[in-house]
């Protein structure tokens, strides 16, 4: 990855090296990066962002209302308050450098329904990296398609997809094609990584930081 990338670009890279479809230019599902030591959650969840903005403006009033509950609900109320106190940042406005260098790892969650969890690890810092785009150096195995139903759904998908005698094989193959499912192909992935484009408004925002 080039230095200075935003969390949104990291999200786009993850989407482009998998079979998911939530990268630029669309936003297929919600995603988030958790930075617990800084009490920050980076997400494209606009509702969560607006809720946090409202909480910042009305903190005392909301704290009093949330905590004004019977004793048996206190623990739940305090957990809710702690969640609201977590700073919500948009992925286009925050760079990954400092957090990757500090934590060495980042937690990334995509599609709250299927619940895909990724652990992003900083393996090495290259001072003379001369590419202006991300590059896949090494990989293995085929990533699951979009909306397959999490790990249990993917296990079932693979069994049907690779069993030509399965009664649902033909339908599953057609569905996989609709989902743009591809077997692992590093050359194809690297071609995609070179062609990640951004809206001018996002580049303007990145360049101002």
- Res 202 pLDDT > 90: no
- Res 204 pLDDT > 60: no
What pTM was estimated for this model as a whole? 0.86
The number of CA neighbours under 13 Å toward the Cβ of 42 is: 20
Mean pLDDT confidence for 183-205:
73
What's the mean pLDDT when you consider all of the chain? 89
Mean pLDDT confidence for 30-53:
95
Q: pLDDT by residue (tens digit) across 88-122?
A: 999 998 999 999 999 999 999 999 999 999 999 99
In the chain, what are the domain boundaries? 7-44+90-143+185-208, 145-183
pLDDT of residue 25: 64
Query: What's the CA gap between 161 and 148, in Å, rounded?
Result: 12
What CATH superfamily is the domain 7-44+90-143+185-208? MM3350-like (3.10.290.30)
- Res 168 pLDDT > 90: yes
Mean pLDDT confidence for 160-176:
97
Banded pLDDT at 203 (limits 50, 70, 90):
very low
Q: pLDDT by residue (tens digit) across 169-178?
A: 999 999 999 9
Candidate ranges 49-53, 133-137, 195-199; pick with highest mean pLDDT: 49-53
Query: What's the CA gap between 90 and 146, in Å, rounded?
Result: 23
């Amino acid at each position: 990855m080039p230095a200075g990338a935003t969390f949104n670009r990291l999200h786009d890279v993850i989407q482009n090296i998998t079979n998911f479809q939530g990268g630029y230019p669309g936003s297929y599902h919600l995603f988030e990066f958790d930075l617990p030591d800084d009490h920050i959650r980076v997400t494209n969840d606009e509702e969560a962002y607006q809720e946090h903005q409202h909480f910042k403006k009305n903190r005392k009033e909301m704290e009093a209302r949330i905590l004004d509950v019977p004793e048996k609900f206190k623990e739940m109320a305090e957990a809710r308050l702690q969640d609201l106190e977590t700073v919500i940042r948009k992925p286009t406005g925050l760079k990954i450098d400092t957090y990757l260098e500090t934590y060495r790892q980042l937690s990334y969650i995509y599609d709250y329904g299927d619940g895909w969890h990724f652990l992003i690890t900083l393996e090495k810092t290259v001072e003379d990296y001369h590419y202006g785009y991300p590059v896949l150096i090494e990989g293995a195995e085929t990533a699951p398609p979009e909306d397959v139903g999490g790990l249990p759904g993917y296990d079932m998908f693979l069994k049907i997809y690779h069993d030509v005698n399965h009664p649902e094989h033909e339908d599953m193959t057609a569905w996989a094609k609709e989902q743009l499912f591809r077997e692992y192909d590093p050359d194809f992935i690297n071609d995609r990584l070179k062609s990640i484009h951004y809206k001018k408004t996002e580049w303007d925002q990145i360049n101002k930081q």
